[in-house]
Amino acid sequence: MTARKILFLVLDGISDRPCPELAGKTPLQAAKKPNLDAFAREGICGIMDTIAPGIRPGSDTAHLALLGYDPHTYYTGRGPLECEGVGIAMEPGMIGFRCNYATCAKDGQVTDRRAGRIFDTAALSAAIQEGVDLKKFGVEFTFRSGAGHRAALALKGKGLGHCISSNDPKKEGVPPLTIQAVKRTKQDKKTATVCNEFVRQATAILAGHPLNKERERRGLSPANMVLMRGAGEMGHFEPFSTRYGISGSVISAASLIAGIGAAVGLKRVHVDGITGSQDSNLAGKIAAAQDELRSQDFVLVNIKGADESGHDGLAGQKTAFIEKIDAAIAPLRTLQDIIIVICADHSTPCSVKDHSADPVPVVIRGDGVRTDEIVRFDEVSCAEGGLNRIPGSSLLLIALDLINRSRKYGA
């Protein structure tokens, strides 16, 4: 029998290096994880360079590579993908930014880059959308709230560039920066001028907004400033369904990953209680994936929490979260007819507190897969597996071949 569908379970940043706190084991080696190990036993294992050996991936470039979209071609910055993540339909050539609401004191210094972790900013964003006018530059814009203090801005117009700096000083107690053209081309200079004007008008609107007046009365930090960064130009993404001839969905709390899914035309699935953190509703995500597989050919699920532990350098917490993931994925063990791929998007070693280029473990399980001798899902065991060492760009192609949907090369 040949499987008909594909599930990608991407365990964000789960891969690691030996940790002194774990007696030299990685969190994956230290965790009790009977389900992940069962997939390793029943499938074929290997290690994977998501982009290429020695390249330290971001989550965004890694996920583009896993979906078969070469980040060197498709990635110009995080902004346009964040825009897609908050529901802005980006067209090729539009310039996108990720934004933050922040607090500025009367003397002009940034006192809180997250505006007291404000979470309901829809009214503020609506006021900016309504009130800011960039017509004199021939530019249209869309500004939308994201989760928490976050937002995204998209610019549409002729002669815009994306090589511009940010106004985010990246620290508190200093004024916001003036946005500048990095390459000093005509396009970049125009965009920098447009952005500075956007910030100026938005600041005026936010200063008088009743929601901010109310926050000040209650002793909360007003969201009176927009910081913007991550400028990028939206590229031409060939739709996933055209490229591979299959339908697909994405399930992710992280707007960046959901935005990548939206950019390539995957259906975004909302699940209650998913947070992108340790307290996420993992059972809900796994149930949603099973639901989606009834109607879609491909489902990508991203589970984020382990990456957070890696960035915080907490090996014990990462190990405990791996055990939580393991319990949550038990229902996938009985899935029939599906090629299940489990991997990380990159390593986030607790000793580095950031992503590293170390290859990640990967397992593929399902009908027709040639199994190997590996019985544990971890960085060291999988390195001995039958898949050997593969590039991330091959992963979907291998899975497509297993469901008999790859195109023949040659006669």
Residues making contact with Zn ion (CB under 5 A): 12-13, 59, 307, 345
Residue 304 Cβ, how far from Zn ion at the closest point, in Å?
Answer: 7
Cβ–Cβ < 8 Å for 372, 44? yes
CB-nearer residue toward Zn ion: 337 or 354: 354
CB-nearer residue toward Zn ion: 149 or 304: 304
CB-nearer residue toward Zn ion: 355 or 365: 355
Residue 112 Cβ, how far from Zn ion at the closest point, in Å?
Answer: 23
Q: What is the DSSP letter of 330?
A: G
Residues 6+ apart with CB under 8 A from 219: none
Residue 65 Cβ, how far from Zn ion at the closest point, in Å?
Answer: 12
CB-nearer residue toward Zn ion: 188 or 345: 345
Helices (H) and strands (E) in the chain, counts: 15, 13
Q: Which residue is nearest to Zn ion (CB)?
A: 59
Cβ–Cβ < 8 Å for 35, 327? yes
Residue 11 Cβ, how far from Zn ion at the closest point, in Å?
Answer: 9
Residue 222 Cβ, how far from Zn ion at the closest point, in Å?
Answer: 30
CB-nearer residue toward Zn ion: 224 or 302: 302
CB-nearer residue toward Zn ion: 82 or 297: 82
According to DSSP, the β-strands at 338-343 and 360-365 are: antiparallel
Residue 159, classed as helix, strand or coil, is coil
Cβ–Cβ < 8 Å for 128, 256? no
CB-nearer residue toward Zn ion: 10 or 139: 10
Residue 348 Cβ, how far from Zn ion at the closest point, in Å?
Answer: 5
Residue 344 Cβ, how far from Zn ion at the closest point, in Å?
Answer: 8
Q: Which two tokens stand for residue 123?
A: 């009214």
Q: What is the 3-state secondary structure (H, E, C) of 269-310?
A: CCCCCCCCCCCCCHHHHHHHHHHHHHHCCEEEEEECHHHHHH
Q: Which two tokens stand for residue 355?
A: 């992503």
**The total number of residues written for the chain in this structure:** 411
CB-nearer residue toward Zn ion: 13 or 146: 13
CA atoms within 13 A on the CB side of 215: 21
Rounded CA-CA distance 36/41 in Å is 9
Cα distances from 397 to residues 71, 404, 407, 410, in angstroms, run 16, 10, 9, 16
Residue 349 Cβ, how far from Zn ion at the closest point, in Å?
Answer: 11
CB-nearer residue toward Zn ion: 13 or 248: 13
According to DSSP, the β-strands at 267-268 and 248-251 are: parallel
Q: List helix spans (H) across 43-78.
A: 59-66, 71-74
Cβ–Cβ < 8 Å for 263, 90? yes
Q: List helix spans (H) across 313-391.
A: 315-328, 379-382
Residue 360 Cβ, how far from Zn ion at the closest point, in Å?
Answer: 10
